[in-house]
Structure 1
Amino acid sequence: MADRLQKYLAARGLGSRREIEGWIERGEIQVNGRVAKLGDQVDSGDTILVRGKPVKSDERAHRWVAYHKPEGEICTRSDPEGRSSVFASLPRLRGQRWVSVGRLDLNTSGLLLFTTDGGLAHGLMHPSRGLEREYAVRVLGEVPEEIQHSLLRGVELEDGLARFESLAEAGGEGANHWFHVTVSEGRNRLVRRLWDAVGVTVSRLIRIRYGPVDLGRGLKAGHFRDLDPREVRALYTAAEMSPPRSARPTGKRPGRGGSRPAPGKPRRTR
C-alpha cells in the first residue's frame, strides 16, 4: 500500500514529517532515481535515497521514552547561545532520529515524550486528537473563586478564546499555592498565558502528564526511561493508530534514573 513519502520515512524513524518535508523541498531525497517532490507516494518496492544513502524497506524497531526536562534546557537540537538541549540527554541512535512529542519552554520542566516513530508523534500532536496535557502550577498569592471559574469558562487571549479543561487545588503554604490544571491543545505557552491574563503570577510550571502517560514519581530531572508496553499501546490508541510489531519492551533500565516526589496533592476539582 502506497504512503506519502514523508509519512513512509517518518514511520521508519528517519525524522518528523516536518523535517522530512524540508529534505524533500531541498532536493535531498531521491525515489527510483529521480529527485522526490512533495506529494510523492511510495511503497516498500521503491528505491529511496536520503542524502545518497538507501532506506531499508523493513520495519525498524522503534523506541519510545519519557524524559524529565529540567528548567533551563531548550527543546531544539542546537542553540546559538550554547544552552543545553534536551536531545543531549537522550540515548544515542544509529540510523534513526528522536522526534519530540510537543515542546516545553525554557522555564518549564516536566514530561517530554520522544519516539523514533515520526508518524506516531504527528498523530499525537494533531489538533484533532485533543490530547490532555496536565500541569502542576505554583502561583503567588491567593486565587479567588471567581478567577478560578473564569479560567474554566474561558479567557480571551491574543490568539483566541482559551480555557482550562480542569483546575484542582493542590496545596501550598504561605504565598505559594499549587494547582493542577489540564489543557487539550498545544498553543505556545498556553498555561502561563492563561494565568497571566487573569493577573496571576506563575512561579513554577511542571508538566506531569501527556495524554495517557504520566511523569510519575520515579524519574529525576534530566533523566529518561523507556516506556512500558502498556504505555506504548495507549499512545498508539490515543493517536488512532495500530501499534507496530516492534512495540515491545526494550529491557532498558531508566537512563540516569532515580526518584523525585511530585509536587502538591490534589484536593478537589471544579
Structure 2
Amino acid sequence: MSSAKARPFRPPRSPRQSPRGRSAAKRDDDPGRKGTGAAFPPAAPVTHKLHKLLAQAGLGSRREMEALIAGGGVTLNGKVATIGDRAGPGDLIRAGRRTVRPAHGGRVPRVMLYHKPEGEIVSRSDPEGRASVFDRLPQLRSSRWIAIGRLDYNTSGLLVFTTDGELANRLMHPRFEVEREYAVRIMGRLAPETVSRLTTGIALEDGPARFEELLDQGGEGSNHWYRVMLKEGRNREVRRMFEAVGVTVSRLMRVRFGPIDLPPRLRRGQWMELDETQTRRLLDLVA
C-alpha cells in the first residue's frame, strides 16, 4: 500500500482464550444504568425513524424497511406501523418473527472480529451440516450478528461482524470501494506478464476484475506467497482470478478489511469485541 494512505485501524487488545476456544471478553448487554438521583428531571428519550432503526438492527436497507413498513409488515407497540413513525428506548418493534428493542441514545453498535479457520461456512444454516462461524459467536438477545463480507469454506482470516446494518452496508457496498487484502499461497512464482494481467484486468464470467496491488512476499521451496488487494468482494473472486491465468491457490487468508487489520494475536477460532472507544474510531474512519 502507498505510504500516503491512512494507517489501518489496529485494535490494541489481545483476546483471552475461553474453554470453548472463544474470547472471554464480553460487553454487558444492559442498555443503561440507573439514575444518579439528580434534582433535574431526566431528558426525553431520543427517538429515530422506524425504518432507520430496523436497518440498524440488520433487517435490511432503509429503502427495504420503508417498503416493509408500507406493506404492513411492522408493528410498533402492538399497532401496525406507518411510514414516518418514530421509536425509542422502551418501544417494542416487531418485523415478521423478529423483535427489535431500540437501544438507549448514544449507545454504539457492537463490532466483533473473528479469525475464521478453514472448514467453516459464513451462514446460519447448511444442508450439509457443516460448522458455521455463527456457532462460535456470543448469542445476542434483541439483535443479530451481521457478517460484513464473507469468506468461502476453504478460506481463513479476518471476518468482521456488527449489530448495525448501516455500518455493514457502508463497508460492503461496492460503491464505497472498501479495500480487502489477502495473503495468497501458490506453487511457484508468477511470471511478469501474469502479474501484468492480474493488475490491469482480466475477464471473469461476472465481469472484469483486477488487483489494485499485487506484492511478492517470498517463500520457501515450491510455495510462494503474495499479498493482493482489491476493492470489491465478489464470490471466490481471488481464487477465480488466479484460476483465470492458470494458477491454483493452495492457501488463502484475508488479513485486512477496510481499516481493520487481522490482529496478530487473534488465533484461529477466536473472537474479540471492540470496546466503545475503538468502535467510535471505526465509525469515524468509515463515515
TM-score (norm 2): 0.73
Q: Does 1:43 align with 2:86?
A: yes
1:165 and 2:212 aligned: yes
- Select the residue among 75, 80, 99 that pairs with 1:30: 75
Residue 120 of structure 1 aligns with which residue? 167
Q: Secondary structure at the match of 2:114?
A: strand
The answer on 1:55 being equivalent to 2:101 is: yes
SS in 2 for 1:17: coil
Match of 1:219 among 266, 274, 282: 266
Q: Distance in 2 between matches of 1:54 and 1:84?
A: 27
**Against the structure 1 CA distance between its residues 57 and 67, is the aligned structure 2 distance closer, same or farther, given a 3 Å change threshold?**
closer
Determine which of 235, 249, 259 is the counterpart of 1:202.
249
Report the alpha carbon displacement of residue 15 of structure 1 after superposing the two structures with TM: 2.8
Distance 1:72 1:28, change over 3 A: farther
Q: What is the root-mean-square deviation of aligned Cα atoms in Å? A: 2.9
1:16 CA displacement: 3.9
- TM-score, normalized by length of structure 1? 0.77
2:234 counterpart (168, 187, 192): 187
Counterparts of residues 133-152 of structure 1 (less than 5 Å): 133-152=180-199
Match of 1:15 in 2: 58
**1:102/1:112 contact within 8 Å kept:** yes
Q: How many residues align?
A: 235
8 Å contact kept, 1:140–1:201: yes
Matched, 1:71 2:130: no
Are the aligned partners of 1:16 and 1:99 in contact in 2 as well (CA < 8 Å)? no
Shift, 1:228, TM fit: 4.9
How far residue 32 of structure 1 moved from its aligned partner, in angstroms, is 6.6
Distance 1:199 1:93, change over 3 A: same
Instruction: Give the drift of 1:48.
Output: 5.1
Could you list the per-position Cα deviations for residues 39-67 of structure 1 after superposition, in whole angstroms to 9, with x for gaps in the alignment?
Answer: x3432369653148573463455311110
State the alpha-carbon separation in 1 of the partners of residues 165 and 227 from structure 2. 30
Greater relative CO (CA pairs within 8 A, separation 6+):
2
Q: Secondary structure at the match of 2:254?
A: strand
Query: What's the % identity of the aligned pairs?
Result: 49
Q: Secondary structure at the residue paired with 2:218? A: coil
Query: Within the alignment, does 1:98 sit opposite 2:179 as a pair?
Result: no
